[in-house]
A and B are shown apart, each in its own frame.
Chain A
Amino acid sequence: DIQMTQSPSTLSASVGDRVTITCRASQSISNLLAWYQQKPGKAPKLLIYMASSLQSGVPSYFSGSGSGTKFTLTISSLQPDDFATYYCQQYHGSPFTFGPGTKVDI
């Protein structure tokens, strides 16, 4: 199975900060990676698919990059609504696996 790791596990930031979250796969997954945002008590929301494609309706200050085994999610200017937990997920091969999550708080 492909294992996913994320760093950091928790990130303290302020409004307006540039935030970068890293996700690593235990083997190459090409660009078959998605990023999700989850707020407390809510279902996750798709932000990025195919490593760098922005989901419709997602603000353009979110971006994704990477391929192979290393990926990043960047929030170029953190907004109050962005404080949440972020997960990466590989869908290169079954079983699909999620990273453990990165909590972005104030």
Chain B
Amino acid sequence: EVQLVESGGGLFQPGRSLRLSCTASGFTFGDYTMNWVRQAPGKGLEWVGFIRSKSFGETTEYAASVKGRFAISRDDSRSISYLQMNGLKSEDTAIYYCIKSKGKLSGSLEYWGQGALVTVSS
């Protein structure tokens, strides 16, 4: 059974940094693109970015709203994806979901974690 568990959320002050972790199990983690999507309270879904597998160079893509502040990485030996979030802003307040792509290169988002709530406030 595929499982994705996010951790590292909480209350953070503007301008600070945090790193979310996504621990995966139930599939060959290293073979798949891993994605992050966020959802502000009461709002719709916003794609944050992804990291491709090592086979595809571990290349990353980001939404314009987070590019240059957020970075996605992966540790295939531990089946963990990370979302490093720097220079936090109040508008980064959201539930952050970690998702496994359906195919090895596909952009459809097959398995979702339960989400980690990040609140940015002074």
9 contacts between A and B (CB under 8 A): A32-B107, A38-B45, A43-B114, A43-B115, A45-B112, A55-B110, A89-B107, A91-B107, A100-B44
**What's the tally of chain B residues with a CB closer than 8 Å to chain A?**
20
Q: A97-B47, A98-B46, A98-B47 are in contact. Are A89 and B62 (CB under 8 A)?
A: no
Q: Report the minimal beta-carbon distance from B95 to chain A, rounded to whole angstroms.
A: 9
Contacts of B76 in A (CB 8 A): none
**What's the tally of chain A residues with a CB closer than 8 Å to chain B?**
23
Please give the residue numbers on chain B whose beta carbons come within 8 Å of chain A beta carbons, in ascending order.
Answer: 44-47, 50, 61-64, 97, 102, 106-110, 112-115
Contact A98 B108 (CB under 8 A): no
Contact B106 A91 (CB under 8 A): yes
Q: A43-B114, A46-B102, A55-B110 are in contact. Are A94 and B61 (CB under 8 A)?
A: yes
Give residues 34-78 of A contacting B (CB, 8 Å).
Answer: 34, 36, 38, 43-46, 49-50, 55
- Of the candidates B45, B50, B61, B63, the one whose C-beta lies within 8 Å of that of A44 is B45
